[in-house]
Amino acid sequence: MLPLLQKASEFERRMAVVSDGRSYTYNELLAGARQVATHLLGSSNDLKEAPVAFLVPPSYEYTAVAWGIWAAGGIAIPLCMLHPLPSLQYVIEDTGARTLVVHPDYEGLLRPLEKTLGVRLLRVHELFRGPAATLPGIGRERRAMILYTSGTTSKPKGVVTTHANIQAQIEVLVKAWEWEKDDYILNILPLHHVHGIINVMSCALWSGACCEFMPKFDAGAVWGAIRAGRLSLFMAVPTIYYKLIEYWEAAPETDKNVLSEAGKKLRLMVSGSAALPVPVMEKWQRITGQTLLERYGMTEIGMALSNPYRGERRPGHVGQPLPGVALRLADSSGNPVKGGAPGEIQVKGPSVFKEYWQKEAATKAAFTADGWFRTGDIAQWDEGSYKILGRDSVDIIKSGGYKISALEIEDVLRKHPDVLDCAVVGLPDEAWGEIVAAFLVSRKEVIPSESLSEWVKNYLPAYKVPRRYQLVDELPRNVLGKVTKNTLKESPSPS
């Protein structure tokens, strides 16, 4: 049996998951996963790495489907709840998934794919019925999951991790952050990225702890859960802490005290997926007494750097390499840098992914000749701790913790009938880290920005929609060289 499932079987009647107002024990979760696996297997005895896509909100059912796919020997492909059909279709086609598990809320959206792609659509609740069959033995080197990540190509790439990779990503965090079975975490993150899947859900379930799902972030509801006193851990992207601070600041004075007192009771609060602004860290500390633990990671490698659980958590820094993670900084010729010089973060270790799905050239290009994964992030060693300085590509934007490819948005905008050409950049933003902005060369004098937003929304999720537009006569080829971020900020949007 896979170690994750083996461990779960030892936790028996402990509470594993809370979702939709119900709680589920480890026994119930395993039983559900076995039923799902049995349905997926049908008459076969092993899915043998067949990709299975699923669109299910964060819940008991989501967890049991992911585990069921693994137990049947398949590759789990969690889809994004916010994606419009073309983005979902891209992932399904790219992975070649023939089976699609769907929650009723998304059935109408996905049903047409039965005809257009010939996929088999399975309603999620129908998988939780009947007896469980004998399940195959699964080697740890098998492919387990594909997560899509944006990069310096216009289309997202599928990051393939094996069971061994996933186990390594979980184990290192369980140890470093001292997870234990009495922990209780609220999961408010989307479940098609490592932050929500590995750091929150899987670390909890590996440890025998409880993971409560809240499928849509809501600052008041998160404060409500903190106030109720059941959480021992919380993990989020900086934008979420920003929004929790905003909520606290707007609360009546009497509530502020109660919320602050409740916030002090958690044993650990973690921030990651984007740079944690020092003012946000300081404000959070003033409000809750919690010193946020900032860590650094990536879909391809899980977590690599972390401030210590016990010891100094330095503002503006991401700490030291986690145990088992080999990390170096390299210059543009690939040589390790010396002293405090900036260099690209490169990583080796058991948590590093196997490959980009069916993209041999891209996989090869992502590693150095001697096997270091090139993250594309620039950092420096600063008196005992790493500091992230930025990315080496201007085409990668991080907004609300989501990685966004400027090229992908440009491709969509260029298809708009009134757009002759365009360039997309990220602008610094207090709440979101960066917001997406677009320069447009237009065929007309004016294009209503709503028409552009609607256009982009047809193809891409809301977090990729530009928040600012500016018309220009000629497109700067080197966007940052020719047009400063301030030019765009000062100019009105077309209307």
Phi, psi of 197 (to 5 degrees): -75, -50
Contacts of 108 (CB under 8 A, 6+ apart): none
Looking at residue 492, the DSSP 8-state letter turns out to be P
Out of ligand AMP, ligand MLC, none, which partner does residue 375 contact, by CB within 5 to 8 A per kind?
ligand AMP
Closest listed residue to residue 62, CA positions, set 211, 233, 276: 211
Residue of 171, 175, 177, 61 whose CA lies nearest to 127? 61
Q: Which is nearer to ligand AMP, 95 or 306 (CB)?
A: 306
**Through-space distance between the first and last CA atoms of the chain, rounded to whole angstroms:** 59
- Torsion, CA 110, CA 115, CA 117, CA 119, rounded to 10: 70
Q: Per-residue contact track with ligand MLC, 361 to 400, x per CB under 6 A?
A: --------------------------------------xx
For 452, residues 6+ apart whose C-beta sits below 8 A from its C-beta are 413, 416, 419, 438, 440, 466, 469
Tell me the three state secondary structure of residue 349: coil
Site string for ligand MLC, 445-484 (x = CB under 6 A): -----------------xx---x-----------------
Q: How far apart are CA 176 and CA 457, in angstroms?
A: 40
CB 159 within 8 A of CB 299: yes
From residue 363, alpha-carbon distances to 92, 147, 250, 356, 466 in Å are 20, 15, 48, 5, 30
SS3 assignment, position 274: coil
* Chosen from ligand AMP, ligand MLC, none, partner binding at 74 (C-beta under 5 to 8 Å by type): none
> Which of 45-53, 56-64, 89-97, 270-278 is the region at the interface with ligand AMP (rule: CB under 6 A)?
270-278
Tell me if 297 contacts ligand AMP by CB under 6 A. Answer: yes
Q: Could you say whether residue 395 binds ligand AMP (CB under 6 A)?
A: no
Decide if residue 377 touches ligand AMP (CB under 6 A): yes
From residue 303 to residue 322, the character string flagging contacts with ligand AMP as x (rule: CB under 6 A) and all else as - is: ---------------x----
149 binds, among ligand AMP, ligand MLC, none (CB under 5 to 8 A by kind): ligand AMP
Residue 237 binding target from ligand MLC, ligand AMP, none, CB below 5 to 8 Å by type: ligand MLC
Q: Which is nearer to ligand MLC, 290 or 375 (CB)?
A: 375
In this complex, which beta carbon is closest to ligand MLC, that of residue 51 or of residue 238? Answer: 238
Q: How far is the CB of 391 from ligand AMP (least distance, A)?
A: 6
User: Which listed option, ligand AMP, ligand MLC, none, makes contact with residue 379 (CB within 5 to 8 Å by class)?
Assistant: none
* H or E segment and range at residue 65: helix 60-71
Least separation, in Å, of the C-beta of 271 and ligand AMP? 7
Please tell me whether residue 401 binds ligand MLC under the rule CB under 6 A: yes
Cβ proximity to ligand MLC: between 110 and 244 the closer is: 244
- 57 lines the binding site for ligand MLC (CB under 6 A): no
Q: Check residue 239 for interaction with ligand MLC (CB under 6 A).
A: yes
399 is a contact residue toward ligand AMP (CB under 6 A): no
Give 286's contacts (C-beta < 8 A, 6+ positions apart). Answer: none
Tokens for 389?
């300085």
Residues at the contact surface with ligand AMP, assessed by CB under 6 A: 149, 193, 272-275, 294, 296-299, 318, 375, 377, 388, 391, 398, 403
